[in-house]
Amino acid sequence: MVEEMTYTETIHYLLKNTTLQEADIYHYNGKSSEDYFEKLFQFYSRNLDHNKKFGANPSYVVFYDTTETYAKAKVSKQHYMVVFDRKLINKLSQWYNSYFDFGNIEGLEEFKLLEEEIDFKISELLEHAIIHFTFYHEFAHLIQFATDDEIEREEKLFGDCNFEPHKHIEEYDADIFSGICISAHIYQFIDSHLGGNIDKNKLNDFIAITISGIMVYILSLPMCKEIFYTKESSHPHNSIRVNYINMAIIQNFKDIISQQENNITIDEDYIRGRSFMILKSLLSHFGLDDIKTRFSEDMGNNWESIQNYQQELHKCFLEYEISAVTKWNAV
């Protein structure tokens, strides 16, 4: 069975049966990071197998070793693949290496007490959130591809200069889909560590922290055009994406909490304010002050355009026939 294949066996099979090229493949066996890559391979392979009901089947996890830093969805000869570039994994490893003390970052000292109360590093939570976000975004594209007759197609997490309206809708759908999945994963992660010790303040802070980590990641992705735009490029502008991803994650946490037997409430205004505060500190911590400045300018100068285009995308998304979110909700 596909889920029982090792990574080496998976690559061997795909090289024979798809357009996958040996020159692109990262073989992690025997490398110092083997255990980490193997853990990712097994976790996401099981996830793909569990979710084959969505039509993207058979599907596989592949690692590339190319000159770019990306993740992408690929379909080739009716085989579906989520591709992580090795450099993307290394980038996250560099950011969150050794799971640093979150409360030691300038501007985030108030979180020292929170981190002392839990049995995991907040930076570990951030790393999980970003990798999960990336995986589910690409998996959403595979669900979209499963309704398409094309036998060859790829979609990267960041884009190119070619604007087509349906591409923006697909990206919006993939981001919202990932937001739904991330909310469930992070709540399970927090609940498994804190259980009955979850209270309103802690949960709202953890949601804000999760969102801020994903925003840092999205804002750091290279785009064809950094200057703010709406109907250009293959992906919505990063400033637009982080805004509606923020919204989606908060809404889905609300949905999760509404099904729990507790008195916890989600404070949307508090979370948004905290997430932007944390975002600015993380951007500075990672040496991304230029992105912080550009994002602040976008939010100040283009807020109305961001809101209007987000609403336009949402309206088109509701009419999008091959939406991954629609399929998720229907199962």
Which residues on adjacent β-strands are paired with residue 64?
25, 85
- At 152 the pLDDT is 62
257 contacts: CB under 8 Å, gap ≥ 6: 203, 264, 265, 266
Within 10 A of 152 (CB to CB), how many other CB atoms are there? 10
- At 236 the pLDDT is 93
**CA–CA distance from 213 to each of 19, 207, 237, 271, 297 (Å)?**
34, 10, 18, 13, 20
Inter-residue long-range contacts of 162-166, CB under 8 Å, 24+ positions, other chains counted:
162/233, 162/234, 163/231, 163/232, 163/233, 163/234, 164/234, 165/231, 165/316
Q: Quote helix, strand, coil % in the chain, to nearest 5.
A: 65, 10, 30
Q: DSSP secondary structure string, 17-50?
A: HSS--GGGB---TTSTTHHHHHHHHHHHHHHHHH
Q: Is the peptide bond before 222 cis (omega within 30 degrees of 0)?
A: no
- At 216 the pLDDT is 92
Local confidence pLDDT in tens for the 331 residues of the chain: 444 799 999 999 999 999 999 999 999 999 888 888 999 999 999 999 999 889 899 999 999 998 777 889 999 999 999 999 998 888 777 776 656 788 889 999 999 888 888 877 888 888 888 899 999 999 999 999 887 655 566 666 555 677 888 899 999 999 999 999 999 888 888 888 777 677 888 889 999 999 999 999 999 887 767 899 999 988 999 999 999 999 999 999 999 888 877 778 899 999 999 999 999 999 998 899 999 999 999 999 999 999 999 999 999 999 998 899 998 888 7
- At 1 the pLDDT is 40
